[in-house]
Amino acid sequence: MSVLMPKPNAEVLGRRAAIVEAMRAIVPGEGVVDTTDEMRVFETDGLTAYRQLPLVVVLPERVGQVSAVLKYCRAHDIPVVPRGSGTSLSGGALPLEDGVLLVLSKFNRVLDIDFDNRCAVVQPGVTNLGITRAVEHRGFYYAPDPSSQIACSIGGNVAENSGGVHCLKYGLTANNVLGIEFVTMDGEVIRLGGKHLDTDGYDLLGLMTGSEGLLGVVTEVTVRILQAPETARAVLIGFPSSEQAGACVAAIIAKGIIPGGMEMMDRPAIHAAEDFVQAGYPRDVEALLIVELDGPKAEVDHLLAEVEAIANANGASTTKVSTSDEERAAFWAGRKAAFPAVGRISPDYLCMDGTIPRKELPKVLTGMRALSEKHGLRVANVFHAGDGNLHPLILYDANKPGELAAAEEFGNDILRLCVSVGGVLTGEHGVGVEKRDLMPEMFTEDDLKHQQRVKCAFDDKHLLNPGKVFPLLHRCAELGRMHVHKGQVAFPDLPRF
């Protein structure tokens, strides 16, 4: 584990028995998990390279219990890490040895479906796909659709501002959340937004969405639901090179066409997905675009012809348009299964997440090939190409000495490349611990100080999800500086984070 967390607080560890007893008093029955074997399933998240057992795991069922846990932890200076389904790919839900892991998986009910106002009220443990399943009988769906939608929770989606293949046209989580209920570290229950489309005052809802569990614990979410389009068709477009595919993406958007989804895969990802799913992908191409158009039938037919013309002008070698909803679903099934499919061709992989301006896609693809040679590791590329969100999968074998470290440095170089062309460190996976030490690549120290002032306004003791996002911590009272390096705190007399 090369990304280390702060040294645990020995005083808190010494009080473990009393803390567990207090948690059992708040959440009785099976709501507290404290044995090593039982806690093992919570020691990591989807990033998997980093592992840490928590002090104790608490699974509340009611908002009052969440409030009581947070109040107790604040009063006794105990860190708290919120966790949903544990599918985070940035180490955002990585536990702390001296912290309570607050798991919201029992908050799993759909509370209200309001078709007249086109919204649904759900608890944070409801899965992303579960929302669509709850409303599809009336022809509605929830638009953001991460590849992990069958497992990832809506609370985690809010924490990371998750996207998905259809976020190009319909927006990220931030564009589809109307309101939330959350609990502060003080135990106060606060509501922001609601079923209405807009609210006055500061955009605190926007602030909470993507805050990675640093500001509060979300206990309820109101989401926008959409009516399914009249027609949806997808086209597979193969190219002799990734650069040509990237140029086609930019040309489609420049033409003013906004597809429902536009995804890109390179040869290793294409072959892995086709072997796994048999989606009908061409095997004789270097890059594949999946472009979906939706809306009225006449509009879809017209735009499909436009997209095919643009593809041909950019050197496309093959095109295949879906002729049924089943075939369109098969096209997407291959893309949605790309991550597990790549797991069949490599013992391990790191899934990276960066975002770049669309026009820079050919340049970045060329740069990643050079980095692959530099680090001696293969990479399979799967992109939300339409909005420039890259998901390079770096292939390595953790059993070979040095390969994990090489994969991590390869990933860091990819993210530095993204920033160098005007992009950002993350599109939807968050910063967590994975990108924490890269934040200075994108932000100045003053930038980070201002972000931490927001953190201080919500959590002045730095007890919520400490050790994530910020590589450098400033005390709320004095803006003194603390640097955590190789697990050691430079100034142990200052409050830990």
Please give the pLDDT value at position 47.
81
Whether residue 180 contacts residue 193, with contact meaning beta carbons closer than 8 Å, is answered with yes
Query: How many C-alpha atoms does 244 have within 13 Å on its Cβ side?
Result: 18
Q: What is the pLDDT averaged over residues 186-207?
A: 90
**Given a cut of 90, is residue 175 above it in pLDDT?**
yes
**Given a cut of 70, is residue 378 above it in pLDDT?**
yes
**Given a cut of 60, is residue 269 above it in pLDDT?**
yes
- Mean pLDDT over each residue of the chain, to the nearest integer: 92
Q: What is the pLDDT averaged over residues 38-67?
A: 94
Q: What distance in Å separates the CA atoms of residue 246 and residue 360, rounded to the nearest whole number? A: 8
pLDDT in tens, 404-424: 999 999 999 999 999 999 999
Q: What percent of the chain stands above pLDDT 70?
A: 95
Cα 377 to Cα 343, 365, 369, 426: the distances in Å are 15, 15, 10, 22
> In degrees rounded to 5, what are phi and psi of residue 442?
-115, -30
Please give the pLDDT value at position 233.
97
Out of 63-67, 197-201, 434-438, least confident range: 197-201
HEC assignment per residue over the chain: CCCCCCCCCHHHHHCHHHHHHHHHHHCCCCCEECCHHHHHHHCCCCCCCCCCCCCEEECCCCHHHHHHHHHHHHHCCCCEEEECCCCCCCCCCCCCCCCEEEECCCCCCEEEEECCCCEEEECCCCEHHHHHHHHHHHCEECCCCCCCCCCCEHHHHHHHCCCCCCHHHHCCHHHCEEEEEEECCCCCEEEEECCCCCCCCCCHHHHHCCCCCCCCEEEEEEEECEECCCEEEEEEEEECCHHHHHHHHHHHHHCCCCCCEEEEEEHHHHHHHHHHHCCCCCCCCCEEEEEEEEECHHHHHHHHHHHHHHHHHCCCCEEEECCCHHHHHHHHHHHHCHHHHHCCCCCEEEECCEECCHHHHHHHHHHHHHHHHHHCCCEEEEEEHHHCEEEEEEEECCCCCCHHHHHHHHHHHHHHHHHHCCCECCCCCCCCCCCHHHHHHHCCHHHHHHHHHHHHHHCCCCCECCCCCCCEEECCCCCCEEEEECCEECCCCCCCC
**Given a cut of 90, is residue 481 above it in pLDDT?**
no
Give the confidence band of 50 by pLDDT, cuts at 50, 70, 90. Answer: confident
Looking at the structure, give the CATH architecture of the domain made up of residues 110-227: 2-Layer Sandwich (3.30)
Alpha-carbon torsion (56, 61, 62, 63), positive or negative: positive
Please give the pLDDT value at position 480.
46
Q: What distance in Å separates the CA atoms of residue 274 and residue 260, rounded to the nearest whole number? A: 23
Q: What is the pLDDT averaged over residues 378-383?
A: 94
pLDDT in tens, 85-110: 999 999 999 999 999 999 999 999 99
Whether residue 82 contacts residue 51, with contact meaning beta carbons closer than 8 Å, is answered with no
- Within the chain, all domains assigned CATH 3.40.462.10 are found at 230-429
Task: Give the rounded distance of the alpha carbon of 124 from its chain centre.
Answer: 15
Please give the pLDDT value at position 200.
76
Residue 287 in tokens? 């890059």
Please give the pLDDT value at position 198.
75
pTM of the model: 0.91
Please give the pLDDT value at position 136.
97
Q: Which residue has the higher pLDDT, 491 or 469?
A: 469
- Within the chain, all domains assigned CATH 3.30.465.10 are found at 110-227
Please give the pLDDT value at position 430.
94
Give the confidence band of 492 by pLDDT, cuts at 50, 70, 90. Answer: very low
Q: What is the pLDDT averaged over residues 362-373?
A: 93
Q: What distance in Å separates the CA atoms of residue 223 and residue 180, rounded to the nearest whole number? A: 9
Please give the pLDDT value at position 484.
44
**Given a cut of 90, is residue 117 above it in pLDDT?**
yes
Token pair 């090489």 in the structure block, residue: 406
Q: What is the pLDDT averaged over residues 163-182?
A: 95
Give the confidence band of 4 by pLDDT, cuts at 50, 70, 90. Answer: low
Q: What distance in Å separates the CA atoms of residue 12 and residue 396, rounded to the nearest whole number? A: 37
**Given a cut of 70, is residue 478 above it in pLDDT?**
no
Q: What is the pLDDT averaged over residues 54-66?
A: 98
Please give the pLDDT value at position 1.
39
Please give the pLDDT value at position 3.
53
**Given a cut of 90, is residue 192 above it in pLDDT?**
yes
Token pair 């496309």 in the structure block, residue: 316
Whether residue 432 contacts residue 212, with contact meaning beta carbons closer than 8 Å, is answered with yes
Please give the pLDDT value at position 7.
82
Please name the fold of domain 230-429.
Answer: Vanillyl-alcohol Oxidase; Chain A, domain 3 (3.40.462)
